[in-house]
Amino acid sequence: MKKLPDMKFHKIDLRVLVQIFLLAATPILFSMSLNNSSLIITRASLVIIWVVQIILLYRYLKQSDRKLKQAVKIISSGEEFQLLRNKELSFVHEDVLKDINEAITKFRSLKIEREADLLFFQLVMEYIPAGVIVIGSSEKIRLVNRAALDLLGIEFLENLERLETVKAGLSNWFMSLTENVFAILDLDFPDHSYRISVSVRDIKLLNSTQRIYLLKDIKKEVDIKEVETWHNMLSILSHEVVNSVSPITLSSKGMQRNITELRKVIDKNESTDKIISEIETGLSLISTRGTGLNEFVESINKLTKIPSPVYEDVSLGQLIKESAGLMHEDFQTKNVEISTSNEDMKVFCDKKLIVHVMINLLRNSIEAFTNELDKTISISGKKEDNHTIIQVTDSGPGIPSNIKNQIFSPFFSTKKRGSGLGLSFTRQVMRRHNGDVNIWTTPGKTIFTLTFQDKLNV
């Protein structure tokens, strides 16, 4: 047989029972007093007592309802859970109050766990190399990580309108993206440039839709693939040219020697001399062009077979002295002024290769000048994070946007007699240094930026 639970009466229970008893007893006493006409005052008192009891019970229930609503509001609010005390809910039974406080304690623990999970999630997001932007249904930014801010070149992002400070029309461009479509965004900054792939995913969460943007810089990957393609093509090209031209060159030189011997044994007359001279001229042209093609192949081999850097600490001043010194006559011929800064800065690099790189950049800047009144090239250096940066800035006309992304491709040149290998060589050398070369240009200004890893990160 089950044991009945102990009946514990709270003072609230007693108060309610007394009020109910009085409310029930008062009408009974009133009806009994009706039989005696002398109890008028008693009947009036009973009516007053009955009305007062009704008012007190109503006020008690009203107050209880109000305090209970306050308790529920405290429990349901996500701000700060405070344990309830007897004086705050004096109408609540101790057992009920205990259950409420246990619920509040659980809510508090859940809130702490949720905040800890959110903090952990945010920390994880900061370590993701790809940029992530999450937008809620109200088009407000719910989440953005450091990688996304770095790619966009901004310090904070509270809404998409902020993207207009990065590039005109960029906020509308983001909003126009659809799911399952990869879009490419090119952003240029003075120190670097990005080619960003942007993908979108819409996720329904409860009753709202969250839009997630994933941003990834693919410039380096694209450059590496492009370089590999060019290297393979150039290797095949140089191999075929050497195999085809070398025998022709050797044969033409041999035939030239035979012609020389032939002159000694044949009868000399105007007709034979003319024929032999024409043959010699043709063979000479073949030999010259063959030699030129061999030299061209050699330059290709230099591009595809850049040696591993021999690292040393070199001051920026040393690099400037050797590269600008070799270009001294070019500076004078075109009346170009050169300015430098931070020459004491150390660069951990292969001195010979980087001098060659800087010669290419200086030559490119000098040849870009046309009729500008101010012909200035400045070379500066700075340390940034874990990188060493050298910038070569000129006041030339700038590079048209339609060819800017092609200037590092082999054989691309805007000059009539240019080989188109100088800037491609520059990029390959920087790749060998685990660094990069970027260009930022606008009419009247072009900046080439060389980025090197610090010694500890090479």
The answer on pLDDT for 319 being more than 90 is: yes
pLDDT, tens only, 3-25: 333 434 455 567 677 777 877 88
**Tally of CA atoms within 13 A in the half-sphere of 354 that contains its CB:** 32
Q: What percent of the chain has pLDDT over 90?
A: 11
Tell me the pLDDT of the chain averaged across its residues: 77
Residue 229: which pLDDT band, with cuts at 50, 70 and 90?
low
Question: In the predicted model, is pLDDT for residue 390 greater than 70?
Answer: yes
pTM, whole model, 2 decimals? 0.53
Q: Which residues of 330-358 are buried (b: 16+ CB within 10 A; e: fewer)?
A: bbeeeebebeeeeeebbbbbbbebbbbbb
Looking at per-residue pLDDT, the higher value among 10 and 391 belongs to 391
Sequence-separated contacts (24+) of 197-206 with Cβ below 8 Å: 198/174
Element (H, E) at 184: strand 183-188
- Highest averaged pLDDT of the listed ranges 184-198, 259-273, 408-422: 184-198
In 305-347, where does DSSP find H-type helix? Answer: 316-326, 328-333
Are 297 and 240 a contacting pair, CB within 8 Å?
A: no
Tell me the CA distances in angstroms from 86 to 71, 95, 236, one per residue in order.
12, 11, 89
Residue 222 binned pLDDT confidence (cut-offs 50, 70, 90): low
The letter for the amino acid at 317 is G
